[in-house]
Structure 1
Amino acid sequence: MLASCYSILFSDFLNERGASSTTIAWIFNTHMFLWNVFGLFTGPLTKEFGFRRICFLCAFIASFFLLILAFASNIWYLLVFFSLCGLFAGLACKPCYLQVAQYFDNRRGQANGFLMAGSCTGHFVGPPLTRYLLEQYSFPGATLIMGAILLNSCVGAALFQPVEWHMKKSCPVERPILSDSADEDTKQCRMVDEASREVDVTANETLEPKREACEVERRLLVGNLSRRVSQASNLTLAISYLDLTGPAPNADDGFPKSKDSNESGIPDERGVLKTLGRLLRSTISDLAILKTPRGFIIASGGVCALNSYLNFLITAPFAIQHAGYSLEDAAWCMSYAAVANLVARFTASSLSDCHWFDMRIAYMSGVTVMAFSILLFSFMSDLVWMKVTLVIWGFGVGVNVSLYILIMPRFMGLEKMPSIFGAQSFATAFANLILGPLVGMIRDVSNSYAVAMWVMTAEVMVCVVLWFFMPAAVAYEERKEALKEAI
C-alpha cells in the first residue's frame, strides 16, 4: 500500500508546509529509488541467506521506519525515513516474484495472478482506508496504524518454505551413473534372461531343474542390481532437490547457516568477507545481462512504463484536488483504478497459461492503453470522466505489470530471471531518481499538470517502440548463438 497511499497519507502534511511538486516528486522517487536499486541484490541475497530470513527481517525494519514517521515534524524527516522504509520494503517484496517463478511451471500465470491480486488489494483498500484513518486519528495515529498493518508482512514471510519441501519424491530422474560392477551385473542378468528364454522354448521335464536354477540366479542378480540403482537414484534425487536460488534446508527453518559460519552459526570475519565477495561478483554478473538485446529491451521498456505509472499514481490525486475536488474524491478515484487494475492483472496472468495467448502483443497493448489514458486524463475536468479514464488506465497498468513479470522467463529463460529482474530493478532505480523529479520540475515550471502528463505519455510510448524490435532481437541472438556453435 505504500506507493498508492503516499499522496493520500502525506497530502495535508506536505501542503501545510508548502512543498512544491518537485519536492513531492523527490520524496516519492527517492523512496522508489532505494526500493529498486537494492532489488539488484535480491537474487544474490536470497541465494546466500534464503527467502524467509531476508523477507522477514526487511519487512520488520520497513514497518519500523513507517512507525517512526508518525513523529515527523518537517519535510527532511519525511524524506529520510520514508526513503529508508522503501529500501527495506523493496527487499521484502521483490523476492516474492522470484518465488512464484520457482514454485510454478504449468500454472505460473495463474499463480502470478494471485500474487498480483494481493498487491492490487492494497492499492484498492489503501487510499480510502488511509483517508478514514486520517479523519479519525489524525496524521500521527493514521501513520502508526499503517505501520502496524505493514508489520503483518512478517507473518507472510514467516510462512515462506523452500521449494524442495514440496517436491514429490516419486518424480522421474535420469538414469543414474552406475559403477563398473553394477554394469557387469546388468550384463549377467541379460545373459541369464536369454538362457531362461532358451529354456522356455525347448522346455521339457529333463530341463526343468536347469530352468529353475537360472531363475534363482536371475533373481539374485536383479536384487543386487536394484540395491545399486537405489543408492545411485537416492544420490541423484538429493542433487535434483537442491534449491538453485537458496541453500539446502536444515532441521531448523529450511535455510542453513551461512557457508562461512563457524559451528555456532555465527560468521567469522573471513567468512563475512567471502560472503560479501560472492554477493558482489553475483551482482556484477547480473548487470552484464543488459548487454544482450533482449535484456536491454526488457529492462529499458520496463523502466519507461513503470516510471510513468508510478509518477502518474502520485500526480493524479494532486491534479484532482487542483481541479477543485476533495481529497476523499481523489482517494475513491484511485480505488476505482485499483479495481480495474486487479481485474486486469488476474485476467492477463491467467490467460498467459493458454498456448494461443501472445504475451508480447498483450503486453504492448496494455502499455498503449496506459499511454492514451494518461493523455486523455490531462484534458479532463469533470470528476465522472476522470473516474472513467482512471479505470481505463488501471486496466492498462494491470495488464502491463502482471505480464512484465511473466515475459522475463518467457524471453530470457527461467535460469536468467533473477539476473534480468535485478538488472531491471537497478535501472528503474536511477530512472526514479532522474526522470521522476524531472516530471515534478516540469509541473512547477509550466504550472500545469497536463504538460507533466504529456511527458509521461511520451515516456510510455518509448516502451511500445522498443518492444516492436523484440522479434528482431530474438532472431539476432539466435543467429549469433548458431554461429558460435558452428565455430
Structure 2
Amino acid sequence: MPPAATTNLGYTPPDGGWGWAVVLGAFISIGFSYAFPKSLTIYFKEIQEYFSISYSEIAWVSSVMLASMYAGGPVSSVLVNRYGSRPVVLVGGVMVSAAMVLASFGTTIMHLYLCIGVIGGLGLAFNLQPALTIIGTYFHVKRPLANGLAMTGSPVVLSTLAPLNQFLFDSFGWRGSFLLLGSIVLNCCVAGALMRPVRKTVQLKPNTEPQEIVETAIVDSRGQLSNVQTDKRKTESQAWLHKFVDVSLFRHRGFLIYLVGNVVMFFGFFAPVVFLAPYAKHQGFDEYSAAYLLSIFALVDMFIRPATGFIGNTKWIRPRIQYFFSFAVAYSGVCHLLCPLAPGYVGLVVYAVFFGLAFGMVSALLFEVLMDLVGAHRFSSAVGLVTIIECGPVLLGPPLSGALVDIFGDYKYMYYACGVFMLVPGIFFFIMHYYNYKKLDEEQRQSLAVEMKTSEEAEQLKTSSDDETDGRTH
C-alpha cells in the first residue's frame, strides 16, 4: 500500500470500517445517476408514437436530463457544503421518484421535459455529487480503490435496468413503468441513509514554531481608515462567497489543467457509445448483433473500473496518477481513430473490448484525479464548477457527432472526430501534468528550505535568549 500523501482535512480518514458501507451507498447513487437517463431510451419509441412527435424531440428527454444533472452541480455543491451528503442524497432520491410519478400522468412532451428532464435531472445531481464527495472524507490511502468500486455502479445498474425496463414496458406500458420506476429509484434514499458523516479523529500537531504577536498600527487618518473598512467588507463578502462556491479554484493550476482538458474531451466522450449500435447496423449487421456489441462493451467496462481503482492505488501509480489518467484518455482516442479500420464484425467486437477498457479506465479515474489535484476538502466545490462547465459539451457532443453522420453519410468521420477530441486532451494532459508535477516539486523544495531557515533562526534566537538569561543570572 502506498504511503498516504499530505491531507488538509484536519483529521485522519478511517480508510475502511463504515467507509465500505458508504462506498456501497455511493455505488447505488452513482449507478442511478449515470444509468437512469440511458435506460429510459427503451420507452422512447412508444412515447414518440403516443405524442406523434419526431425522434429528435423525444431524444431531448435524456439530453435535458443529463444537462440538468451536470448544470445542477453547483447547487448540489452548495447544499453538500452546508448540510452534508446524507440529506442531499435523500432529497435527490425523492425528487427523481416524484419526477417519474408525475411524468406517468404526462399529456404533452413538454410535460416530460419538465418532469423527467429538469426535476429528475436535478434530483440526479443531488445523488451524484454527494456520493463522490463523501468518499474523500472516509478514504485517503485507499481512495482510488474506493472511487473505482463506486464508479462501477454505472455499468452494473445500467445492465440491470435495461432488461428490467424491457420487462416493465412489455407488462405495463410506459405510464405504468414510470410509476414503478418512481418506487424503484427510491433506493437512492436507502443509499443516502448509508452515508453517515465521518467520525473525525483530529490530528494533533505539536506547536514547534514560535508564536509571534504582531501589532498593526493604524494611522488615524480618514483615508487609511476608509481603506481598512473597505478591505474588511471585501474580505467578509469574499468569505461569504467562498462558503458556498470556492471561486479561488480558478487560480488553481491543477484545476485549470483538468478543466480545459475535460471540456475538449467531453465533446468526444459519450458519442461513440451512443452510435456504436447504429454503426454496426450501418455496416449491415442485424439488431441482435449490434446489441451484443453494447453488451460486450458494458461487461468489459464493469470489470475494468474496480481493476483501475486497484491499479491506481499501487505505490507505482498513486504518486503520479495524473499520468495514468492521461494515458487512459489518449488510449481512448487511439481506439476511436482505429475503429473505422476494423474489418467486419470481429473487428467491431475487438473495438468494443478495447473501447470498454478505455471508457472504464477514464470513468474510474475521472473524479479521483480531480480530488488528487485539489484535495478532498475542496472537491465538493471543484466538482460543482466542473460539471456546470461540462454541461455544454455533454449536451452538444452527441448531436454534433450525429450531424457529421448526416453530412457525410458515413460513421467513420464521426469516429475520427471523436478520436481527435480524446487524443488531443490526452496529449495535453501528459504535457501539462509534467509541467505541474515539476512546479509542485520546486514549490515543495522551496517550502522545505524556508522551513529549515525558519527553524534555524528560531534555534539561534532561542540560543541567544538563553545566553542572555545566563548572563543576567551570573
Same structural fold, with TM-score higher than 0.5 when normalized by the shorter chain: yes
When the two structures are superposed, what TM-score results if normalisation uses the length of structure 1?
0.68
Asked if residue 155 in structure 1 is aligned to residue 190 in structure 2, the reply is yes
Please say which structure displays the higher CA radius of gyration: 1
TM-superposed CA distance for 1:290, in Å, is 3.1
- Whether the 8 Å CA contact 2:93–2:185 is kept in 1: the answer is yes
Match of 1:76 in 2: 110
Match of 1:428 in 2: 390
Match of 1:337 in 2: 297
Cα distance change, pair 135–101 in 1 and its aligned pair in 2 (3 A): same
Asked if residue 459 in structure 1 is aligned to residue 421 in structure 2, the reply is yes
Choose the corresponding residue for 2:351, options 389, 412, 415.
389
Choose the corresponding residue for 1:99, options 122, 128, 134.
134
Cα distance change, pair 404–63 in 1 and its aligned pair in 2 (3 A): same
TM-superposed CA distance for 1:116, in Å, is 1.8
Cα distance change, pair 161–315 in 1 and its aligned pair in 2 (3 A): same
Match of 2:374 in 1: 412
Choose the corresponding residue for 1:441, options 396, 403, 409.
403
- Whether the 8 Å CA contact 1:25–1:437 is kept in 2: the answer is no
Match of 1:134 in 2: 169
In 2, distance between residues paired with 1:78 and 1:314?
21
Match of 1:353 in 2: 313
TM-superposed CA distance for 1:399, in Å, is 0.7
Q: What letter is aligned with 2:141? A: N
| 1:213-228 superposed matches below 5 A | none
- Percent of residue pairs bearing the same amino acid type: 19
Deviation per CA, 1:353-386, whole angstroms, max 9, x where unpaired? Answer: 2111242332122223322333344466855543
Match of 1:301 in 2: 261
In 1, distance between residues paired with 2:49 and 2:340?
22
Asked if residue 473 in structure 1 is aligned to residue 430 in structure 2, the reply is no
TM-superposed CA distance for 1:303, in Å, is 3.0
Query: 1:163 aligns to what SS in structure 2?
Result: coil
Deviation per CA, 1:222-256, whole angstroms, max 9, x where unpaired? Answer: xxxxxxxxxxxxxxxxxxxxxxxxxxxxxxxxxxx
Moved more, 277-286 or 416-425: 277-286
Asked if residue 86 in structure 1 is aligned to residue 47 in structure 2, the reply is no
TM-superposed CA distance for 1:56, in Å, is 0.3
TM-superposed CA distance for 1:74, in Å, is 4.9
In 2, distance between residues paired with 1:318 and 1:29?
18
Asked if residue 118 in structure 1 is aligned to residue 153 in structure 2, the reply is yes
Match of 1:173 in 2: 204
Deviation per CA, 1:44-102, whole angstroms, max 9, x where unpaired? Answer: 21121221111101111112213333344554343333322112112212211111111
In 1, distance between residues paired with 2:342 and 2:44?
25
Moved more, 60-69 or 469-478: 469-478
Query: 1:335 aligns to what SS in structure 2?
Result: helix
Q: What letter is aligned with 2:438? A: A
| 1:169-248 superposed matches below 5 A | 173-174=204-205
Q: What letter is aligned with 1:465? A: I
Deviation per CA, 1:246-298, whole angstroms, max 9, x where unpaired? Answer: xxxxxxxxxxxxxxxxxxxxxxxxxxxxxx99885445533x42343321221
Cα distance change, pair 462–317 in 1 and its aligned pair in 2 (3 A): same
Deviation per CA, 1:309-335, whole angstroms, max 9, x where unpaired? Answer: 323333334444555556655544323
TM-superposed CA distance for 1:455, in Å, is 2.2
Cα distance change, pair 3–336 in 1 and its aligned pair in 2 (3 A): farther
Q: What letter is aligned with 2:246? A: S
Match of 2:98 in 1: 64
TM-superposed CA distance for 1:404, in Å, is 1.9
Q: What letter is aligned with 1:91? A: F
In 1, distance between residues paired with 2:406 and 2:425?
26
Q: What letter is aligned with 2:204? A: V
- Whether the 8 Å CA contact 1:301–1:467 is kept in 2: the answer is yes
Query: 1:465 aligns to what SS in structure 2?
Result: helix
In 1, distance between residues paired with 2:330 and 2:117?
31
Asked if residue 144 in structure 1 is aligned to residue 179 in structure 2, the reply is yes
Q: What letter is aligned with 1:8? A: I
In 2, distance between residues paired with 1:314 and 1:408?
26
Query: 2:269 aligns to what SS in structure 1?
Result: helix
When the two structures are superposed, what TM-score results if normalisation uses the length of structure 2?
0.70
List alignment gaps of at least 5 residues for structure 2: 1-34, 209-236, 451-474
Asked if residue 52 in structure 1 is aligned to residue 86 in structure 2, the reply is yes
Cα distance change, pair 48–284 in 1 and its aligned pair in 2 (3 A): closer
- Whether the 8 Å CA contact 2:270–2:397 is kept in 1: the answer is no
Query: 1:458 aligns to what SS in structure 2?
Result: helix
Choose the corresponding residue for 2:246, options 256, 263, 285.
285
Match of 2:228 in 1: none
Choose the corresponding residue for 2:272, options 312, 336, 349.
312
In 2, distance between residues paired with 1:448 and 1:327?
18
Query: 2:328 aligns to what SS in structure 1?
Result: helix
Asked if residue 10 in structure 1 is aligned to residue 44 in structure 2, the reply is yes
TM-superposed CA distance for 1:351, in Å, is 1.7
- Whether the 8 Å CA contact 1:409–1:417 is kept in 2: the answer is yes
